[in-house]
Structure 1
Amino acid sequence: MPINGIQMQKGLSLPEFIQLYGSEQQCEDALQKARWPQGFRCPKCHRQNASTFIRGKTRIWDCCHCSHQASLTAGTMMHQSQLPLTKWFLAVYLVTQLKTDIAALSLRRQLGITWKAAWLLKHKLMEAMRQRESGRPLSGDVRIDDAYLGGERNGGKRGRGSENKVAFVAAVEMRDGLTHHQALHLLFEFTQRI
């Protein structure tokens, strides 16, 4: 059986991730570049001229044209979160690294946050991934793999046939031997059971 090119892709190692996103400032810079690649643009009037100031620990952009104020996380799933960006970024890394999913309990341990915060964070990330992929169908050379999420209960059936597990399918569109586009399709019941 040939080596699966998708599984053997070079990823971002944990040391590389920490080097790129290990500080709050690095995460802020990366988020700012992702949100406003050509510099701040007011979400209300779409102009670019703004002054900045710090309120508490949060940098605020104040539009010079319409006086609308926005923060780096305003309008995102991180809006009004008390978690530092370093924990959000690490959560994204951890949620996207494992084929078999990561439990909220494990995420809690890895991030050093409460179980409730880990559960909410994980579900926000999964919903964002679902929304992002919902309107982008795959075509051409599509490679698919399946997995099952969920835990084992005492006395229950193990493996694929377990009533405690929900199937999901991951698919990748390949172009010129490289990953072009990825999709993750979770069964609806999965979000209802966790």
Structure 2
Amino acid sequence: MFPIKTFVSERRAANLLEQVRWRDGVYFPRCRGESVIRYGSYRVFQRYLCKDCDRTFNDQTGTIFEHSSVALRKWFLAVYTYIRFNTSLRQLDVDIDVSYKTIYRRVQRFLRALDAPRLQLEGPIEIDEFYVKAGLKGRERDQPSRSRGL
């Protein structure tokens, strides 16, 4: 489909992720702390230090691209071609030279992230439990029970 060389470099992909991710300001995804300072770099990504919990993070922390050894520019290309051109996972496997299993897992993670509702719950929350019957367990509705072979 598209050769990777015509796509943006890894640095430009990292800058794009940074612009989109922190358009409302930088914060630590785990503790939501906003007292954050720049703290060097990690590969091509800006690294930050949260002053509230004294932990470091980068632009990929808390995103679907976190903990991926595949280049960010390849994931951008995969997501774009998957959504825009309805490209199959097998074709993406060939185009970006990543295994089918890796492509499948990352695309599923991306689709789950799109479907995830953003709930802002306040006050006490109650959760009640209930039992869902698994089925007839050997008894058919209009017939005698089948043998279990015990």
Give the TM-score band, short-chain normalised.
Answer: 0.5 to 0.7
Q: Which amino acid aligns with 2:12?
A: Q
In the other structure, the counterpart of 1:42 is 28
**Unaligned residue ranges in structure 2 (runs of 5+):** 120-150
In the other structure, the counterpart of 1:125 is 110
When structure 1 is superposed on structure 2, of 35-44 and 51-60 the one drifting more is: 51-60
Taking every aligned residue pair, what percent have the same amino acid on both sides? 21
**Structure 1 residue 52, shift from structure 2 partner:** 1.7
Q: How high is the TM-score relative to the length of structure 1?
A: 0.51
Q: Tell whether the 8 Å contact from 1:51 to 1:64 is kept in structure 2 after alignment.
A: no
C-alpha separation between the residues in 1 aligned to 2:116 and 2:42?
A: 31
Q: Tell whether the 8 Å contact from 1:60 to 1:70 is kept in structure 2 after alignment.
A: yes
C-alpha separation between the residues in 1 aligned to 2:76 and 2:15?
A: 12
C-alpha separation between the residues in 2 aligned to 1:102 and 1:26?
A: 24
In the other structure, the counterpart of 2:69 is 82
**Structure 1 residue 120, shift from structure 2 partner:** 1.4
RMSD of the alignment, in Å?
Answer: 2.9
How many pairs are equivalent?
A: 116
**Structure 1 residue 35, shift from structure 2 partner:** 1.3
**Unaligned residue ranges in structure 1 (runs of 5+):** 1-13, 136-194
In the other structure, the counterpart of 2:55 is 68
1:23 aligns with 2:9: yes
C-alpha separation between the residues in 1 aligned to 2:101 and 2:44?
A: 24
Residue pairs, 1:105-120, within 5 angstroms: 105-120=90-105
Match of 1:33 among 9, 19, 31: 19
The structure with the largest strand share of the pair is 1
Residue pairs, 1:125-144, within 5 angstroms: 125-131=110-116
Q: Based on CA coordinates, which of the two structures has the bigger radius of gyration?
A: 2
Q: How high is the TM-score relative to the length of structure 2?
A: 0.63
Q: Deviations over 1:49-82 (max 9, x none)?
A: 3132234665421124431211211111111111
